[in-house]
Amino acid sequence: MTTTQGTNVPPSESPGGAGVPTLVTVDIVILVIYFLLVLGVGFWSMWKTKRSTVDGYFLAGKTMSWWPVGTSLFASNVGSGHFIGMAGSGAAAGIASVAFEWNGMLMVLLLGWLFLPIYITSGVTTMPEYLQKRFGGKRIQLFIAILYLFIYIFTKISVDMYAGAVFIQQALQWNIYVAVVLLLFITALYTVAGGLAAVIYTDAVQTGIMLIGALTLTGFSFAEVGGWNALLERYAMAIPSVRDPNTTCGIPREDAFHLFRDPVTSDLPWPGILLGMSIPSMWYWCSDQVIVQRSLAAKNLLHAKGGSLLAAYLKILPFFIMVLPGMISRILYPDEVGCADPDVCTKVCGNAVGCSDIAYAKLVMELLPSGLRGLMMAVMIAALMSSLTSIFNSSSTIFTMDLWRHHRPHATEWELMIVGRMFVLVLVVVSVLWIPVVQASQEGQLFIYIQSISTYLQPPVAIIFLTGCFWKRTNEKGAFWGLVLGELVGFVRMALDFAYPTPLCYQEDSRPNVVKQIHYLYFSTMLSFLTLIVVVGVSLATEKPSPQQISRLTWFTRLDKVEKSSIAMETVQTVTGATKSRESAELDTEDEKPKTDEDPRPQRLDSVSSEASVRSQSRLKAALYWVCGMERQKEGESAPPPPLLINPASSLQEEPCLRHVVNANLIICLSVAVFIIGYWA
């Protein structure tokens, strides 16, 4: 066997990075402009929005229009893991991975039209809070809150950081700790200070940067490969020169351009795509805090639906800007991206399992001229930062509103604001400490199994939300035991997958039959039915839920009138909170008053100096309060009146003309989704 001339030594092993394209001055200038733009938008959004209340910080004051909601939904979903992972999947196995994206098109529309009306009328801030209202008790809320934080910290953050590290190492040859700590610092700065409004507005900017850069790279890629027909013809011939001729290693799949594949022997069986993929996708798009929180920030239901529509249209693009460039990368660099010999792969990317993960970074660094490389570096950093800010903000929301408020039920809004900001800093520290684990997992397990992990943990949660929203008979006992049993079975299968990883193409498959013969998408389907049976059986065998656990909390009761008793109770709670805030503000004011004796004349000079020091301290406090978005009550100012409760029916009202426009777009979007799925099936 002979090695190829195109094989590169990884940047970490090449002295000075010789022979590896790097960023030049013009690229660095573009990166600096990008960072300044993002920080500028972040601070502008801090100045524009009210961040001193729970709704203002965690839900952007519920004032967002449809276009920032839609772009934030897309940017929160499409992180650097998408660019690296989907391009790598395209290089290794063809277009099948885009099924996750196009399935998401349908589910984000399901969110806007079916789930959001329920969440809006329930008046919740977090998804665990909805389950607490719907089922009563605290155990489901706490279970879900901890599970969500586990999923966010140990899968989403780690995957995006791994993907970002791959790109940074290919492009800059920086120390991974320096690069990631710098990114996390900038990310946390406007996330802590600006809240959800800053995250959403910066997401809108980063979505524009991502699309411009990614479409530019797609154009260069197709020009280099020779067009669409050349891609169809040359992908099957993208075979590395170093491979074992007695195996299938390095040979592209025959069904690479098919979305629906063999139900038994393929990597993504078509029945699993239709059923097993839809349930975890429903969890992500219809009950994940990261996604739903953005939709709840919309000014009304019409804008929330418009955001879902925009996100659905944008979900068409990953096929063209991620998957196809990944396939082109394999055609252009078959010996590196498509390497099939473990020794060669180790030399190319340091990973004996394969180097398809470098497909996107390889295109950027080899194909694009100076200047555009800096733009694409900004694209990848934008993807990384947008997903991390979304996770940071939503995680702090869950921790503050579900866990901390459970620990301190009478906490004031100031305390909740401070705790939410501090938890973001805790997440930053955990992210940095998680870097060695991510590096150690580059042999393939964590990143390769990310989609399968989703199918093991998410179906039981999706079933709980589905039955809670659309079946009034579901009660707390049924939901809890269905959730516990489903998660237990899912964790067992996940442990088996880690204990018995998928063998390489030249290895014999000696895994247990339960792992080898039951695809993870089929397992997702079975786990969903198991959870559903437990929920229905236990609910029917136990007492009915109380009227308070149904009213305005299901699809069929979303228009129920608000009872007077609940109005009185919520008004009392609001007034109590306002009184506490006023008392704390008055205490602050008393502390700031200069204390003088009964006769101030002998103390004139001292009083002047003390007044000056108080003014300087006051300015410093005011600046600190502004950065944190905390507003202090001025002396003599009365407490704001408690907000009026809005009838759920009126909160769902839509302007007739705009409603017809949005519904027409729904039909168009569904038609486009069905067409592209059917065309590539």
Q: What is the DSSP letter of 276?
A: I
Distance CA 429, CA 424 (A): 9
**Residue 617 in domain:** no
Q: What is the mean pLDDT of residues 86-112?
A: 91
CATH of the domain at 315: 1.20.1730.10
**Collapsing DSSP states into helix, strand and coil, what is residue 64?**
strand
pLDDT category at 41 given cuts 50, 70, 90 is: confident
What domain count does the chain have? Answer: 1
**Residue 156 in domain:** yes
Helix axes 413-440, 157-171, angle to 10 degrees: 60
Q: Please, which residues bridge with residue 64 across strands? A: 298
Distance CA 56, CA 196 (A): 8
Cα–Cα distances (Å) from 486 to 156, 287, 647, 663, in that order, read: 21, 17, 37, 36
pLDDT at site 4: 38
pLDDT at site 477: 96
pLDDT tens-digit series, residues 360-409: 888 888 888 888 888 887 777 777 777 777 788 788 888 888 899 888 88
pLDDT at site 346: 82
Beta-carbon contacts of 233 under 8 Å, excluding residues fewer than 6 positions away, are none
Distance CA 358, CA 87 (A): 8
**Residue 202 in domain:** yes
Closest alpha carbon to 45 in 190, 143, 148: 190
Beta-carbon contacts of 613 under 8 Å, excluding residues fewer than 6 positions away, are none
Question: Which structure tokens are listed for 218?
Answer: 């797609």
What average pLDDT does the chain have? Answer: 78
Closest alpha carbon to 199 in 436, 387, 427: 387
**Collapsing DSSP states into helix, strand and coil, what is residue 269?**
strand
SS3 annotation, 400-457: HHHHHHHHCCCCCHHHHHHHHHHHHHHHHHHHHHHHHHHHHHHHCHHHHCHHHHHHHH
pLDDT category at 523 given cuts 50, 70, 90 is: very high
Cα-Cα-Cα-Cα dihedral sign, residues 436, 442, 445, 450: positive
pLDDT at site 514: 82
Q: What is the mean pLDDT of residues 660-678?
A: 94
**Residue 133 in domain:** yes
pLDDT at site 619: 61
Instruction: Please state the φ and ψ torsions of residue 511, each to the nearest 5 degrees.
Output: -70, 155
Q: What is the mean pLDDT of residues 8-30?
A: 55
Question: Which structure tokens are listed for 655?
Answer: 């302007």
Which residue range forms the structural domain that includes residue 368?
26-443+660-680
**Residue 508 in domain:** no
pLDDT at site 599: 47
**Residue 356 in domain:** yes
pLDDT at site 630: 52
Distance CA 300, CA 644 (A): 16
**Residue 495 in domain:** no
Residue 523 near residue 272 (C-beta atoms within 8 A): no
Closest alpha carbon to 442 in 312, 299, 346: 346
Residue-wise DSSP of 457-507: HHHHHHHHHHHHHH-TT--HHHHHHHHHHHHHHHHHHHHHHHHSPPPPTTS
pLDDT tens-digit series, residues 66-92: 998 999 899 888 877 788 888 888 888
Distance of CA 168 to the CA centre of its chain: 21
**Residue 544 in domain:** no
Cα-Cα-Cα-Cα dihedral sign, residues 218, 220, 225, 227: positive
Is 14 a residue whose pLDDT tops 70?
Answer: no
pLDDT tens-digit series, residues 44-74: 776 665 555 555 555 656 778 899 899 989 9
Distance CA 70, CA 608 (A): 55
Q: What are the contacts of 233-241 at 24+ separation with CB within 8 A?
A: 234/331, 235/94, 235/327, 235/330, 235/331, 238/330, 238/331, 238/334, 238/338, 239/334, 239/338, 240/4, 240/334, 240/335, 240/338, 240/339, 240/340, 240/341, 240/344, 241/2, 241/3, 241/4, 241/334, 241/335
pLDDT at site 441: 52
pLDDT category at 113 given cuts 50, 70, 90 is: very high
Cα-Cα-Cα-Cα dihedral sign, residues 560, 576, 198, 318: negative
pLDDT at site 76: 81
